[in-house]
Amino acid sequence: MAKCWLMKSEPEVFSIDDLAREGTTSWEGVRNYQARNFMRDEMRVGDRVLYYHSNADPTGVAGLARVARTGYPDPTARDAASDYFDPKASDDDPRWYMVDLEFEERFPRVVTLDELRATPGLEKMLVINKSRLSVQPVTDAEFAMVAKLGRAG
């Protein structure tokens, strides 16, 4: 059964518009073990994603995506020229993983963090509770509520 996720990206780095233009992207550079474990162990092709713009004005959910490829080793961890280089990563122990995402939908407007906080039924979302995780699970009900808010324009 498909799961639902919220994934954060700074729009200056890679926005929902960038994803719409490119169609798919790799989600590299995650350097948090819990987020890595979600991508490596739990994300599956077809899982739905709330695409969240962080460090933005406004901050919030900008659209939807889907997981297009399950977790695989992140090559930036072994690239000394990369900002995401990890000297402990190796062929035998890649340490860091990534998934590929495909564009699904851009909302007419961003569903802001303040709006998420004010919406009954979303009180348990990790993003509302100051989670800094760039990859976090959401329930089917939370996903549906946020998608409805985003599509309302």
Domain spans of the chain, in order of start: 4-151
Interval 17-72: pLDDT, tens: 999 999 999 999 999 999 999 999 999 999 999 999 999 999 999 999 999 999 99
Give the residue among 5, 6, 20 at the shortest CA–CA distance from 104: 20
Prior bond to 94 cis, omega within 30? no
Spatial distance between the Cα atoms of 76 and 27, rounded to a whole number of angstroms: 11
Segments of the chain assigned E as strands: 4-9, 24-26, 48-53, 60-73, 97-112, 135-138
What is the DSSP-derived secondary structure letter of residue 152?
A: T
Spatial distance between the Cα atoms of 138 and 121, rounded to a whole number of angstroms: 12
Interval 72-127: pLDDT, tens: 999 999 999 999 999 999 989 999 999 999 999 999 999 999 999 999 999 999 99
pTM recorded for the entire structure? 0.95
pLDDT at 131 over 90: no
CATH of range 4-151; options 3.10.590.10, 3.20.20.10, 3.40.50.360, 1.20.120.160: 3.10.590.10
Is the pLDDT higher at 50 or at 130?
A: 50
